[in-house]
Amino acid sequence: MRILFLMLALMPLTAMAEIVVPNRTIRAKEVISASDLEIRAVEAQGAVRSAEALIGQEARIALYPGRPIRPSDIGPPAIVDRNDLVMLVFDRVALSITTEGRALGRGAAGERIRVMNLSSRTTVTGVIRPDGQIEVE
């Protein structure tokens, strides 16, 4: 009897819950809309349960119909793509420098990416501003 009790106590419990799942294949880099989602009762831990949290977000990986969506599978839409020409901005109290660069990655506002300074061919790292400029640190 004790062994049965211990086995039951150590078994992970899973419960059916209503979660949001795609109703079609959503490719990586696609922005998710309300028509792409449906609610299903499935057994999943750590899945996104609110459609409002998904609408307007970008898929980081391919999302397949009926499969749970995890928070790490989505993110804000990218405003800078790889190989885009961007403005590099270095702004300090008494010094402000701007020059043109080429993005070596893609990302959304607030994310860090590497950029090549086209004047010096030097690679720098910066944070994407909401207007698409890269603030060099």
- The verdict on residue 80 lying in a domain is no
Q: Which domain holds residue 70?
A: 15-75
- Among candidate residues 101, 104, 113, the one with its CA nearest the CA of residue 137: 113
Q: What pTM, to 2 d.p., does this model score? A: 0.72
- The verdict on residue 49 lying in a domain is yes
Number of domains the chain is built from: 2
Asked whether residue 92 falls in the same domain as residue 113, the answer is yes
User: What average pLDDT does this structure show over 112-118?
Assistant: 96
| pLDDT tops 80 at residue 12 | no
Asked whether residue 54 falls in the same domain as residue 19, the answer is yes
40-44, 46-50, 63-67, 108-112: least confident range: 40-44
Asked whether residue 99 falls in the same domain as residue 120, the answer is yes
Among residues 32, 48, 75, the one where a domain terminates is 75
